[in-house]
């Protein structure tokens, strides 16, 4: 075996000496004639290390590997990849690169040491190489070395606040923006953002605190900021929420506008629910636009429907766009290319029909799992990997209840989705809506598809935290359309939005009638369908 691996000359003598040492050690411990290391299992970690280092040819790294993988001891190996990653993150007490094992093992819980070591080695080999690939690094948020090494490029720069799981950032990145920094104070959503946007520094901070100096410090390469984008929390505005005009969260948009002014960003993009147009007689759309004007921006807003942008949802949102008044008028929010009317051709003139829920759930890579199936990371026969595919386990009583629910009916936690266009992606407690065909709630992956996320987009945190991340996200396809419009404005190309204005009037009411015969789901002429 050694000869076939071309290792015989180098390792044969060492291995023979090592095995002789193991044999002698077993004799000393009353186990003559055996080459096992089982005699070490009853000893303390310190005693095991001493015994292993007494064996011929064994050094610290190999000894710790044996403790970790053979004896199941939760120790961190002194590996060059581990040293390199921790050193660049400035987590080693001794910055010469030597690992003070006692100090850094004390910082790491026993239950994650082995997994952390494997992940650090993988990261060191794949990304944090001797010549690091910092723009592809999901740990850039914690790495001062990486942050200082990033360089500007030709892409326009965006800073995202109220970032959530990163749907808005994904759309802007797909359009050609570089999202330099994202701010999201909820830990699970921030981790999701980091995992899917390598090279973006994600700050877990409160947007109400002074942020501009911090953002400049973690992205010293940034230079001019093109856009500050975000979707402030909407519980105070949403008809599925309290709709309290005095809710403190209703004023959070001011922090985004203030940050844009401090960073001297050219554009501001704010996404929110239609409910903010009027809350018990108070118009927050007027308040948003006035705040933008006060800070030197020309604003405008438009109600848009997700299905117009290729998302299988009749999900309405308000999009505010603004441009520095020294640069020109606010960009138009473009009208989408897709029609939600199932009976094309529609009088709106759109040639593309919006995909349906059934269609997106039937695409390859998403098997129809029954309830209670574990599918967080499953390689599939067609080459896809199923992420976040686990389905909630239901009691027989709940299954029978779900079986009797018609499309669009049921309580918020068990509302069955329509097969054509979803009316909502609401996360009620830990549950998502009911599958249009199966008698179970949809999985996080199925919800992500309905929101327009690619299958490789992974959601972090416990399963109870993931549904809300998906439900609160801005559909990336909608975000991309807005970002592309900003780029057209920067390139001084004529926007194609103006001559499409009639589409909104011709198509909207037709689809609305088909989808929302009941008045209680409308809000000022258009439905508010998501609680976020």
In whole angstroms, what is the distance from residue 141 CA to residue 166 CA? 15
Check if the beta carbon of residue 152 is closer than 8 Å to that of residue 222.
yes
Main-chain phi, psi angles of 199, to 5 degrees: 95, -15
Question: How far apart (Å, rounded) are the C-alpha atoms in residues 284 and 272?
Answer: 11
181, two tokens: 């920094």
| Distance, CA of 402 to CA of 305 (rounded, Å) | 28
The DSSP call for residue 66 is I
Judge contact between 26 and 36, C-beta under 8 A: yes
- The torsion of the CA quartet 47, 48, 53, 54, rounded to 10 degrees, works out to 70
Q: How far apart are CA 15 and CA 362, in angstroms?
A: 55
DSSP annotation string for 147-159: HHH----SS-EEE
Run of H or E including 203 = strand 201-203
Annotated catalytic residue 295: no
Residue carrying the six token digits 């000894």: 63
What gap in Å lies between CA 289 and CA 298, rounded to an integer?
A: 8
Tokens in use for 385? 């990997």
Q: Is 247 helix (H, G, I), strand (E, B) or coil?
A: coil
Rounded to the nearest angstrom, the gap between the alpha carbon of residue 91 and the centroid of all alpha carbons in its chain is: 25
Q: Report how far residue 361's alpha carbon sits from residue 368's, in angstroms, rounded to the nearest whole number.
A: 9
Catalytic site residue from 128, 234, 348, 507: 234
Contacts of 194 (CB under 8 A, 6+ apart): 138, 139, 141, 200, 202
Contact 386, 445 (CB under 8 A): yes
| Bridge-based pairing state of the strands 338-339 and 352-353 | parallel
d(CA 470, CA 449): 10
Picking from 430, 441, 435, the residue whose alpha carbon sits closest to that of residue 395 is 441
The tokens describing 28, both together, are 């000393």
Active site residues: 234
């Amino acid at each position: 075996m050694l000869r076939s691996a071309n290792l015989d000359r180098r390792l044969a003598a060492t291995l023979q000496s090592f095995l002789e040492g193991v044999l002698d050690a077993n004799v000393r411990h009353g186990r003559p004639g055996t080459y096992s290391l089982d005699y070490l299992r009853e000893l303390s970690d310190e005693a095991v290390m001493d015994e292993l280092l007494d064996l011929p040819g064994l050094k610290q790294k190999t000894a710790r590997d044996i403790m970790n993988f053979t004896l199941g001891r939760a120790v961190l190996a002194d590996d060059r990849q581990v040293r390199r990653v921790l050193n660049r993150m400035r987590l080693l007490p001794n910055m010469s690169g030597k690992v003070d094992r006692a100090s850094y093992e004390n910082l790491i819980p026993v239950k994650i040491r082995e997994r952390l070591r494997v992940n650090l080695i993988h990261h060191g080999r794949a990304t944090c190489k001797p010549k690091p690939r910092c723009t592809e690094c999901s740990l850039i948020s914690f790495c001062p070395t990486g942050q200082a090494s990033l360089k500007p490029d030709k892409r326009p720069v965006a800073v995202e606040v109220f970032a959530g799981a990163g749907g808005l950032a994904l759309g802007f990145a797909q359009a050609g923006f570089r999202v330099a920094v994202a701010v999201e104070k909820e830990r699970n959503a921030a981790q999701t953002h980091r995992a899917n946007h390598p090279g973006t520094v994600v700050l877990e901070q409160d947007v109400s605190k002074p942020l501009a100096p911090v953002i400049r410090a973690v992205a010293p390469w940034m230079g001019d900021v093109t856009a500050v984008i975000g979707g402030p929390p909407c519980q105070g505005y949403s008809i599925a929420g309290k709709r309290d005009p005095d809710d403190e969260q209703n004023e959070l948009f001011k922090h985004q506008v203030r940050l844009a002014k401090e960073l001297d960003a050219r554009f501001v993009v704010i996404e929110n629910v239609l409910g903010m147009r009027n809350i018990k007689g108070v118009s927050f759309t007027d308040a948003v636009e006035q705040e933008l004007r006060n800070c030197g921006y020309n604003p405008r807003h438009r109600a848009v429907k997700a299905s117009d942008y290729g998302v299988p949802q009749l999900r309405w949102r308000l999009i505010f766009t603004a441009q520095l008044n020294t640069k020109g008028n606010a960009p138009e929010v473009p009208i989408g290319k897709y029609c939600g009317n199932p009976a094309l051709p529609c009088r709106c003139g759109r040639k593309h029909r919006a995909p349906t829920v059934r269609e997106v759930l039937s695409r390859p890579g998403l098997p129809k799992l029954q309830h209670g199936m574990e599918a967080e990371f499953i390689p599939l026969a067609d080459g896809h990997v199923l992420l976040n595919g686990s389905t909630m386990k239901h009691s027989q009583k709940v299954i029978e209840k779900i079986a009797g629910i018609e499309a669009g009916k049921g309580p918020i936690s068990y509302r069955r989705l329509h097969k054509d266009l979803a009316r909502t992606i609401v996360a009620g407690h830990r549950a998502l809506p009911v599958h249009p065909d199966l008698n179970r709630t949809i999985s996080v992956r199925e919800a992500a598809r309905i929101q327009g996320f690619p299958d490789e987009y992974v959601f972090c945190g416990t399963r109870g935290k993931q549904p809300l991340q998906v439900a609160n996200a801005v559909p990336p396809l909608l975000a991309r359309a807005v970002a592309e419009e900003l780029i057209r404005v920067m390139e001084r190309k004529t926007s194609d939005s103006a001559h499409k204005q009639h589409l909104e009037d011709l198509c909207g009411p037709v689809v609305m009638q088909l989808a929302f015969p009941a008045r209680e789901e409308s809000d000022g002429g258009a439905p508010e369908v998501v609680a976020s």
